[in-house]
Structure 1
Amino acid sequence: MNVSHEWLRAFVPHGRTAAEIGRLLSTHVATLEGTTALRADLAPFVVGQVVHTERIPETRLSFNRVDDGSGTLLEVVCGAPNVELGAKYPLARVGTVVPGKGGMVIERRKIRGFTSAGMLCSAAELGLGADADGILRLDTEAAPGTAILDVLPTGDVRLELDVLANRPDLLSQLGVAREAAALTGAPLQLPPELRDLPAVPAAVRGAREASAGGVTIRIDDADGCPRFTAAVIRGVTVGPSPEWLVQRLAGIGARSINNVVDVTNYLLHGLGQPAHAYDLATLAGATLVARRARAGEALTTLDGQARTLDDATLVIADAERAQGIGGVMGGHESEVTGRTRDVLLEAANFDPRVIRTGRRRAGLSTDASYRFERGIDRAATLERLLQAAALIAAVAGGRVEAVLDVGDAPPPPAPVRLRAARIARLLGAPVADADVERLLGAIGFVLTREDGGWTVQPPTWRQDVTREVDLIEDVARLVGFDALPDELRPFRAGAVPDDPQHLTTRRVRDALVAAGLLETKPLPFVRGDDATHVRVGNPLADDEPHLRTRVLESLAQRAEYNLSRMQGNVRLFEAGGVFAPGAHGLPVERWHVAALVMGDRRPPHFTEPKPPAFDAWDAKAIAESAAAAAFPGGAVALVPAPDESGRLWEVRVGDDVVGEVRQLTLDAPPWASPAFGVELSLSPVDATPVAPAGRRAEGAPSRPAAPARP
């Protein structure tokens, strides 16, 4: 999630630097992955004040002495006609790269007998506009030598937050601003552009259909689209957006398209509500309908791709044909262009599962679908539509003729019981009642005091809060995890023994770590094959739709990832599940541990600059160590069993085969060393309860039962 610091500051006038806000958000809200100074190229430019100016005879040039705050006046020759004594301008000193001059570097040079040791700059030379006829006058009280980024509103910083799937409310500038306001104590307010907007008419309501302003909207699929709103805006002039809107979008990494489309992107990124603008003249019957696509129905989307739809896809259609894939992407035929005069602006609520189905079938992923799949603030849809419609009228002219609202308003979230004692129990320390009320109230929760706690009403944008522990998590992060105690405190010991499989895995893990291997925990999804692997019905990635049959499949992919980045020394292991087809369509899961080694056997040292590489015997030793840890007291043996697939040894415990050692075939560059793998089956293991120390349980075997062939 990209957050513009300037946009955030328009919502919350906090007065802190971008770095301070980033640290605050990372500590209490979402991990800060990085920051980007959007106009870092302007950092060398400073405010320069002209203290002397004179015309150079027979030229259009002027010779100036400029105060740059260094204590020594700079001599600058300037060709602009608007140099004035006492005025302040952007100054580039010697060595500065001028962005609007194709990367030209300012040098000290002689011009008409005068020495010039800098340049007074125009807006075009700074890359701030197209005006190149005169230098940019600065109306500022800032002292000479002040950085330009501290004077001009161009020094935006982009904060890159890692927003997890359970917090879709943070996928907008407003959502992050709510948290920033709570953490800084600054008020949450509407940005200047959303104040004093043109008036809009009241919405015309309908259960499933409504008509107003010569337009009809209708819901034919209430399950996929429970609420549908639209605004009719007539007489617009489509053209470039005002500079403030261009800068808002640039701050989050979006490009300006035109004033109408830019407002829909402002609504999406700024307020968290996806919307779409249609050219009303292109809609048959002046109608929009939310329905399922007809089998074989065709649509060309905004990306220019012709798509064939099926009845699992929700579409927004006119009276005749589909005009967009609901919640994903609009159609090319109804696109807003320079010829558009009347706009129909649509905003809706969609079922996340339906949107995901349509997106996957179309092979698309958009900013809108990303938000709909995770959940938007359904209670704010009409309010956001009204704001966007008024904003279009403000930046593109025209008037909002009608607003339509059909479908069902969402019910409020269910209240949640919160106990003060439970907070203290989970966090390890009590939190004062007043602090709980202040912290949760600051992010939109409504608390009603009850005996020993509160009944808490979550805000409509916090769909993730359904349990008491969810509220306690919010209290903990707002208090600050660093402020909570980290010592281990005594609690009642449990009477349930550790699971035998856990104990076995822990012994094997300790043995492999002692051998110098590093543990990895990848997801169990692989490329696989439908004939031998279990296919996931709804995979996270289209190129990894299967569950693995061996842990070495995952480790091999990790090794190939390292090799593609010129890292040939790999020592990895993992304990995890493997899957095989089972009855009734459900997979059978087993628990395996595997290790992969290749490259240098040990780190280089001055006594051994090039260590030997891992070989098959090293892998055999690792297998013996892991098997001994997994099956203590068992008769572990490695029996040679080479075959064409690369297997070298079978690992046996008694008469049972429990694993293997093999040489792996990887997608590897020529310089890579051979790779060797070990895989052992750890399940099923004996589940006999553990007896107290010093004696065995009645009938308990001396070691876990040997697992079946992997």
Structure 2
Amino acid sequence: MNISLNWLSDYVKHGLAPDALAELLTMTGLEVEEVTTGGPSLDGVVVGHVVSVRAHPNADRLRVCDVDLGDAAPEAGEPEGRRSQTVQIVCGAPNVAAGQKVPVATVGTELMLPSRKDPSQLEPVTIKKGKIRGEVSNGMICAEDELGVGDSHDGIMVLDEDAAVGQDFADYLRQRDALPGDTVLDIAITPNRPDATSHVGVARDVAALTDQPLTLPKVDVPEAGGEAASQASIRIEDAEGCHRLVAMVVRGITVRPSPDWMRERLEAIGVRSINNVVDVTNYVLHELGQPLHAFDLNLLEGGGLVIRAAEAGEVVTTLDDQERKVPAGTVLVCDHEKPVAVAGVMGGANSEVSGSTTDVLIESAYFDPSRIRKTSKALGLQTDASYRFERGVDPTGQARAAARAAQLLAEVAGGTVVPGLIDEHPTPYEARTVTLRPSRVAAVLGVEVPEDEIVRLLGAIGFEVSDAEAGRLDAFAEAAMREEGVEAAAREAADAGLRVTIPPFRPDVEREVDVIEEVARLWGYDHLPTPASTPVPLVPASDTPSARLLARVRRRLAALGFRELYTNSLVPKPTAEAFADAAWTGREGGPVETLNPISQEMAAMRPSLLPGLVAVASYNQARGAGALRLFEAGHVYRQSHAATDLVEGYHEHTSLVLGMSGETPATWNGPARAADVYDLKGVVTDVLADLGIDGVTETPRPAPEGLTAYALDLHLGDVRLGSLGRLADGVGDAAELQEPLFVAELDWDALARLADRDEPARYQPISRFPTVERDLALMIPEAQAAGPLLDTIRQSGKPLLQDVRVFDVYRGEGVAGGQKSLAVALRFGADKTLRDQEVDGRVRRIVKALESQHGATLRS
């Protein structure tokens, strides 16, 4: 928000340079982001004192002046202290005289002076040290027009006798409100400071910080009723949306351009001047913080206003000539037949002030902040009015703002204010009071702030502080009535503190600690002591078992050459729908959409981690990255109606995704080769083994129409752990992948529940007993996967079976059609030397289980 220093000076004479004021405001919570200065540049121009004047030896019209420019740093060898910096300047002005205080452009200053080729044009000229007719001149004593602060060129500018020698000339003018142009502060207003969205609001803080009086504009607020009540009417039907509505009538106005002073102030803060009527409402908005609207009274059917909630499908044509379909429940300002404004946001085109307007109705209201915020967001329309209504305007300031606008209209538009005002107030404001204990102020801030200073600071920003002694006596009486001991009652009364009434324009202040914060920022954060040490809790931080397991898996994957990703959980809606395939995620339910997306790229929550993985793989492949090994752990979301969901209607869980693409690097004993699904399956198996999860079954699942060209579903009993496969060609083409991408996505929450949470197995010495190895050649159906067979072998071979692996698959001569031969190697061992009978018995048990469960037979 922009604040004009010229405008601000109407309310408080702070006497600070713009940068100093910006620093002061920033340190008290009103961060100044930028300082923009208009008008002439006066850098390098200082106040000088003409010590002596003598005639120039070589020119009759010139004078040689000795000018004191104020304090200068002592040169080498000189004692510390003040050293007057006196310079010689040649001046041709007829009015220069000894003893004058004058503006001096020092050497290096750049001024805009008339061009020698065309005196009507100005050009930049840098003041240099030189000689004029043989006499040295170290600067320039200036006239008004040479500095751009006036039109006179009759002689040099002579300043007041009390001007401080060496002072910046701009500061001298600013202290006298004579600085031309304007300086604008761009202040970042936090949502908790609606009071600071106006010049008076900022001036209130500045007055408290500089201990200067606050001067408010004089406004005569008429009593409710009067002649105005007979010429117009207002009615509030939506009391929840509009707590107060005030209206005044001004007749006989002439719509024309605004006077220069008003136009210049508005344009300085970035508000376009339109006409005197609209400019008045904007002026009061930026002066007092209360949005207003001026209606052409003759265009209002029934001669009045009605505040009501919009019905479904209503359309309002706003001042920007846009037809806007407002949501049901929107607060509308209507006449007796039609809507004439979207309340708190923008007026309507059907009642706007035009060149033919002669009578206006000024509307000043308090609208519910949450209702205005919803309307503004729904329409995608934020205005100066909605910006303030959303934060909460002063609920008691409507009549004052309306009267101020009427007063200005009579001044700049020649109108006559109809006596009286109309005031509907269904929700009167109730004053809020808190108790402030000086002992609590000291405890919270770490420093004792004098009680009289607390009272002064709070009073300066509009807080009413009652007499401390009265507060203590009341507290003593209350304590005594509770039949407490006199001593205890006296102690309680001594700490009863001050009764502080919170001003209505500060809705953010509710508790004692909020008032203490106000004291702290006005007293100055730089006055608060810095503790010599800060206590650190002795309770060690602890992670959940699931987080510790995930950290272990992260380290494992990093050791295997994988790089971790962190991608955005918000994705475009079409992407969320494409990757919400229940065949891949294992969960039904559509994607979760966001209510107010920042952009269409962030319109939905991710149902899977695959979109982020695919995007990162595409980005890296396009930049020449060959072998990609990627993983990410994060939350995924979808709609759900399960009773176990934390938030009704939505499901959220942690997922772990892995991706591989490109060649595996060449080694000394083998060439580079393209990664395949078995490489990724090996990594997934390694992760599961590290978690102590075994007995996982793998079920092939062709998915030609889904996200993957093929996939394996991983289960442990009835628990689904995830899926593994190759990304479908269509998805890869859409993502512009240059290499096949193999992916696996695991349900981390399920893995964490099933994992062995004990520490990883420690080293065990190699057994000194020999192992026994046997090979089996099995005839199995062509469609039979090897994984389930290996699981059956492991279960049946316990406890002697130590390892099983597939070492050959054969199809051809000797093998019937529709079948294949699978050769597996078995290794048995124990803490003793095994006998053949023990191993043979275990092999027979394995073969029998394979025959009964999978229809496998030994190949003859």
Q: How would you bin the TM-score normalised by the shorter chain?
A: 0.5 to 0.7
Q: Within 5 A, what are the aligned runs for 1:197-276? A: 197=219, 199-204=220-225, 212=229, 214-276=231-293
Cα distance in 2 between the residues matched to 1:430 and 1:281: 62
**Is the contact between residue 252 and residue 416 of structure 2 (CA under 8 Å) also seen in structure 1?**
yes
1:42 is matched with 41
- Paired with 2:687 and 2:614, the residues of 1 have a C-alpha distance of 24
| 161 and 148 in structure 1: CA distance in 2 versus 1, 3 angstrom threshold | closer
Structure 1 position 548, deviation (Å): 3.4
Identify the match of residue 165 of structure 1 among 191, 195, 201: 191
After alignment, is 262-271 or 583-592 more displaced? 583-592
Residue 203 of structure 2 corresponds to which residue in structure 1? Answer: 177
CA contact (8 A) 1:316 1:322 kept: yes
Q: Please, what TM-score do these two structures have when normalized by structure 2?
A: 0.56
Equivalent residue letter for 2:422 = L
464 and 202 in structure 1: CA distance in 2 versus 1, 3 angstrom threshold: same
Match of residue 462 from structure 1: 506
Q: Can you list the C-alpha shifts for 1:549-604, whole angstroms capped at 9, x where unaligned? A: 3568689999999xxxxxxxxxx99976432112286221224689999xxxxxxx
How far, CA to CA, are the matches of 1:533 and 1:103 in structure 2? 67
**Closer/same/farther in 2, CA of residues 313 and 656 from structure 1, 3 Å limit:** closer
In the alignment, is residue 533 of structure 1 matched against residue 558 of structure 2?
no
**Counterpart in 2 of 1:60?**
none
Q: In structure 2, the residue corresponding to 1:260 is in which secondary structure?
A: helix
The corresponding residue for 2:534 is: 488
Answer whether contact 1:504 1:630 (CA < 8 A) is retained.
no
Counterpart CA distance in 2 for 1:541 and 1:214 is 48
CA distance in 2, matches of 1:684, 1:155: 69
Alignment partner, residue 398 of structure 2? 381
Instruction: Give the aligned residue type for 1:26.
Output: T
Residues 1:321 and 2:338 aligned together: yes
Instruction: State how far apart, in whole Å, the 1-side matches of 2:301 and 2:146 are.
Output: 45
Q: In percent, how many aligned pairs have the same letter?
A: 33
Q: C-alpha deviations, 1:115-145, integer Å up to 9, x for none?
A: 9x9999998996x9xx999999978536899
Partner of 1:398: 415
Higher relative contact order (CA 8 A, sep 6+): 1
Alignment deviations for residues 655-688 of structure 1 (CA, whole Å, 9 cap, x no partner): 9449999999999999x99999998865468699
Query: Scaled by the length of structure 1, what TM-score is found?
Result: 0.66
Give the letter for the 2:384 counterpart: D
Is the 2:297–2:303 Cα contact (8 Å) retained in structure 1?
Answer: yes
Per the alignment, in what secondary structure is the counterpart of residue 282 of structure 2? Answer: helix
Counterpart secondary structure, 1:583: coil
- Distance in 1 (CA, whole Å) between partners of 2:553 and 2:448 is 41
- CA change 1:150–1:418 in 2 (3 A) is closer
Q: Secondary structure of the residue that 2:401 maps to in structure 1?
A: helix
Change (3 A) 1:136 1:333: farther
After superposition, where does 1:614-693 map in structure 2 within 5 Å? 656-657=721-722, 683=749
Match of 2:837 in 1: none
Cα pair distance change 1:106/1:9, threshold 3 Å: closer
Counterpart position of 1:26: 26
- TM-superposed CA distance for 1:378, in Å, is 1.2
Larger radius of gyration: 2
Q: Does the 8 A contact of 2:251 with 2:358 survive in 1?
A: yes
Per-residue deviation at 1:275? 0.8
- Cα pair distance change 1:410/1:525, threshold 3 Å: farther
**Equivalence map 1:331-410=2 (5 Å):** 331-401=348-418, 402-410=420-428
**SS at structure 2 position matched to 1:229:** strand
Deviation at 1:330, TM superposition (A): 0.9
Moved more, 319-328 or 163-172: 163-172
For residues 634-668 of structure 1, the C-alpha deviation after alignment (integer angstroms, 9 at most, x for no partner) is 79x9x9x9999699999999994499999999999
In the alignment, is the contact (CA less than 8 A) between 1:228 and 1:346 conserved in 2? yes
Residues 200 and 400, structure 1, Cα contact 8 Å, conserved in 2? no
Q: CA deviation at 1:509?
A: 9.3
Name the structure 2 match of 1:607: none
CA–CA separation in structure 1 for the residues paired with 2:688 and 2:203: 53
Unaligned runs of 5+ in 2: 54-60, 70-86, 127-131, 134-138, 466-470, 476-491, 578-589, 620-629, 643-647, 661-673, 760-860
Query: Offset of 1:230 from its aligned partner?
Result: 0.9
User: Partner residue of 2:214?
Assistant: 189
List alignment gaps of at least 5 residues for structure 1. Answer: 53-62, 77-82, 109-113, 562-571, 598-614, 694-710
Q: Cα offset for 1:39? A: 1.4
CA contact (8 A) 1:630 1:682 kept: no
Alignment root-mean-square deviation, CA: 6.2
Whether the 8 Å CA contact 1:240–1:257 is kept in 2: the answer is yes
Of 528-537 and 654-663, the range deviating more from structure 2: 654-663
Give the partner amino acid of 1:275. L
Q: Which residue of 2 aligns with 1:411?
A: 429
User: Does the C-alpha gap of structure 1 residues 366 and 498 become closer, same or farther in structure 2, counting only changes over 3 Å?
Assistant: same
Matched, 1:590 2:653: yes
Letter paired with 2:534: L
Distance 1:294 1:595, change over 3 A: same
Does the alignment pair 1:579 with 2:670? no
Distance 1:102-1:94 versus aligned 2 partners, 3 A rule: farther
Aligned residue in 2 for 1:700: none
Aligned to 2:12: 12
- Provide the rounded CA distance (Å) in 1 between the counterparts of 2:205 and 2:285: 18
Question: How far 1:10 moved relative to its partner?
Answer: 3.6
Deviation, structure 1 residue 466: 3.7
Q: Counterparts of 1:234 and 1:12 in 2: how far apart (Å)?
A: 33
Report the CA distance between 1:15 and its aligned residue: 2.6
Contact 1:299 1:331 in 2 (8 A): yes
Residues 278-303 of structure 1: CA distance to partner in whole angstroms, max 9, x if unpaired?
22233233212212345555433211
Measured at CA, do residues 513 and 99 of structure 1 come closer, stay the same or move farther in structure 2, by a change above 3 Å? Answer: farther
Query: How far 1:270 moved relative to its partner?
Result: 2.5
Task: Give the direction of change, closer, same or farther, for the CA distance of 1:308–1:48 in structure 2 (3 Å limit).
Answer: same
| Whole-angstrom CA distance in 1 between matches of 2:114 and 2:675 | 58
74 and 222 in structure 1: CA distance in 2 versus 1, 3 angstrom threshold: same
Q: Which moved more, 1:497-506 or 1:395-404?
A: 497-506
Would the aligned equivalents of 1:500 and 1:687 in 2 still touch at CA under 8 Å?
no
Q: Is the 8 A contact 1:279 1:334 kept in 2?
A: yes
Deviation at 1:265, TM superposition (A): 1.5
Change (3 A) 1:460 1:254: same
Change (3 A) 1:415 1:107: closer
Alpha-carbon distance between aligned partners in 2 of 1:219 and 1:662, rounded to the nearest angstrom: 61
CA displacement at 1:498 relative to structure 2: 5.1
> Any conservation in 1 of the 2:333–2:340 contact (CA below 8 Å)?
yes
Query: 1:484: Cα distance to partner?
Result: 4.9
Find the residue that maps to 2:185 and give its secondary structure. strand
Is 2:604 aligned against 1:546? yes
- Any conservation in 1 of the 2:233–2:303 contact (CA below 8 Å)? yes
Q: 1:410 to 1:85 in 2, by over 3 A?
A: same
* Cα drift, residue 308 of structure 1: 4.3
- Which runs of structure 2 are paired with 1:442-457 in the superposition (5 Å)? 443-446=461-464, 451=492, 452=495, 454=497, 457=501
User: Does the CA-based 8 Å contact 1:90-1:136 persist in structure 2?
Assistant: no
**Measured at CA, do residues 284 and 512 of structure 1 come closer, stay the same or move farther in structure 2, by a change above 3 Å?**
farther
Query: SS where residue 315 of structure 1 aligns?
Result: strand
| Partner AA of 1:528 in structure 2 | K
SS state at 1:169 partner: helix
- Code of the aligned partner of 1:202: E
- Alpha carbons of 1:384 and 1:687: their partners in 2 closer, same or farther (altered >3 Å)? farther
